[in-house]
Structure 1
Amino acid sequence: MIANSVNTNAGAMVALQNLNATNTELQISQGRINTGKKIGSAKDNGAIWAIAENQSAIANSLNAVRDSLQRGQSTIDVGLAAGDTVVDLLNKMKEKALAAADTSITSASRATLAADFTTLRDQITKAVSNAKFSGANIVDGSTDQMSFLSNDSGDAFTVVARNLSLQGIGLDSDSTFATAADASAMISTITTALSTATNKLASLGTNSAGLDAHLTFINKLQDSLDAGVGNLVDADLAKESARLTALQTKQQLGTQALSIANQAPQSVLSLFG
């Protein structure tokens, strides 16, 4: 039996211990609600916190990978646009050469066709030289390949460049014709150039599709990592809300219990009536 004492109030001590424990749990629950995380620091759970931080670092580093791949995507898209222009210009050049190969037209008409042919030829050079994105050109023959980030380790995703300049497709800066025979020979040259350009453009398109697929994978990987980190450290706010309500009720009851326990020594006075 616990002795009646004014020096030691065992009931009050037990009530105070329980109230302190409740207050500690209440602070933890309030912290989780405020931050939205059940593990906000290494103090909460060192092992899980370390895993989450490492995975978050990987997910964040993938931002740089995504930016690099998107830059590559834009560089190739600009090159493909230039390639489409080159193919269109070659088709028009073939039409001019075919018309000039007609022996029934006059020399003046053939000269006009040659002038148009030359203008179209020069436009190829302009289209290819202007196909730059952020200073990079994948179709002007200035580089053999371009590399972009493929993962958080810094490995490269390499895209083979395609030369769509006049020299790259089998023409030169003075390709033209003066006679019907020249024009007839030019038809074959342009046909070959057209085949070369379309093949290179198709190859570049394949590289572009591969880069697009890898970029999609990186986006999904980053989303998966973010979701995984969330599973490790995010708090279940619905559960925490219910727990907070319960703890607040428990706190009120603990306060009342402590108040009752503190009143116990007063009953000793009645013994001295």
Structure 2
Amino acid sequence: MGFSVNTNTGAMAALQSLNDTNKGLSQVQSRINTGLSVASTKDDSASFTIAQTLRGDVGGLKAVSSSLSRAKSTTDVAVAGAEQISDLMNQMKAKATEASDAGLDADSRTAIGKDFDALKEQINTVIDSSEFNGTNLLKASGGSVSALQSTDTTASPLTVANQDFGAVVTALGATFTDAATAKTMVNNLDAQQKVVNTKLSVLGSASRKIDGQSSFVSKLSDAIEGGIGNLVDADLAKESARLQALQVKQQLGVQALSIANQAPQTITSLFR
């Protein structure tokens, strides 16, 4: 091609190269700013779509984890109350055993009976107080616990049934009045302690099951988040190296464009 002031192919080529460099530089800077190599469907539609689906799964798992945490708290409150009731029943048994002594005078047995009644009333207080988030697993009217186990809403939930410790108190019957009724109370306490132990076992097993499921959900969520990172996270070490290369390339591109723009000036020498 001859000399022309209208068309400078060298400058156009240099400008095209510089534009490509600037575009690459903008992309690298975006990756460094966001930490993502795929921040939009424009970057990689397939990876972005998969990542969005996985992000939805992580959100669902967070809801599952929250549900399990509520169930865990409710169950642990019930466990604490049930353990306290078990301790109180041991104290009641000691009082009843002491009152079953035929050689005990009436005034002493009456005093023991008052202590026994106080312990029994304390059990009722513990039952009424063992509530979390509106649910009381120790009270007949307190409801039960139900929690999500996975993001599959059709799957059976994790449930913890109400244990109704009030029935245990009712089954103990009236306070002893003499040595004979005190002995009967000891037998009643033995029987009801077995019931309490069974209920404690149910609550303890439920708490462990919730812990296990919570741990699994947490690990699953971490694994999915790791998968998302593999799909869309930028390798900042590589991006840093690429940034430096592009910055040098940009400087050279500007110089090349400057040289190409000076080429038409040589035409003026032809008219001297």
Q: Same fold (TM over 0.5)?
A: yes
Runs of 4+ displaced beyond 6 Å: none
Distance in 2, matches of 1:168 and 1:42, equals: 62
1:101 corresponding residue in structure 2: 100
Structure 1: runs of 5 or more not aligned: none
1:141, distance to aligned residue in structure 2 (A): 2.2
- Can you list the C-alpha shifts for 1:38-76, whole angstroms capped at 9, x where unaligned? 111111111111111111122123222222211111111
The answer to whether the 8 Å contact 1:169/1:194 transfers is no
Partner of 2:117: helix, strand, or coil? helix
Structure 1 residues 182-221: aligned runs within 5 Å? 182-221=181-220
Correspondence 1:124 to 2:123: yes
1:241, distance to aligned residue in structure 2 (A): 1.0
1:97, distance to aligned residue in structure 2 (A): 1.0
Structure 1 residues 130-149: aligned runs within 5 Å? 130-142=129-141, 145-149=144-148
Judged with a 3 Å threshold, the aligned counterparts in structure 2 of structure 1 residues 169 and 144 are, in CA distance, closer, same or farther, namely farther
2:250 corresponding residue in structure 1: 251
Among all aligned residue pairs of Structure 1 and Structure 2, give the percentage whose two residues are the same amino acid. Answer: 43
Report the RMSD for the aligned CA atoms in angstroms: 1.6
Distance in 2, matches of 1:94 and 1:241, equals: 74
- Can you list the C-alpha shifts for 1:227-262, whole angstroms capped at 9, x where unaligned? 221221111111111101100110111111111111
The answer to whether the 8 Å contact 1:163/1:169 transfers is no
- Can you list the C-alpha shifts for 1:147-166, whole angstroms capped at 9, x where unaligned? 0122233442212332222x
The answer to whether the 8 Å contact 2:135/2:144 transfers is no
1:4, distance to aligned residue in structure 2 (A): 2.4
Structure 1 residues 48-197: aligned runs within 5 Å? 48-142=47-141, 145-154=144-153, 155=155, 156-165=157-166, 167-168=167-168, 171-172=171-172, 174-197=173-196
Distance in 1, matches of 2:21 and 2:191, equals: 84
1:182, distance to aligned residue in structure 2 (A): 0.8
TM-score for both structures, normalised by structure 1: 0.93
Structure 2: runs of 5 or more not aligned: none
Distance in 1, matches of 2:207 and 2:168, equals: 20
Partner of 1:171: helix, strand, or coil? helix
Q: Which moved more, 1:63-72 or 1:88-97?
A: 63-72
Judged with a 3 Å threshold, the aligned counterparts in structure 2 of structure 1 residues 169 and 3 are, in CA distance, closer, same or farther, namely farther
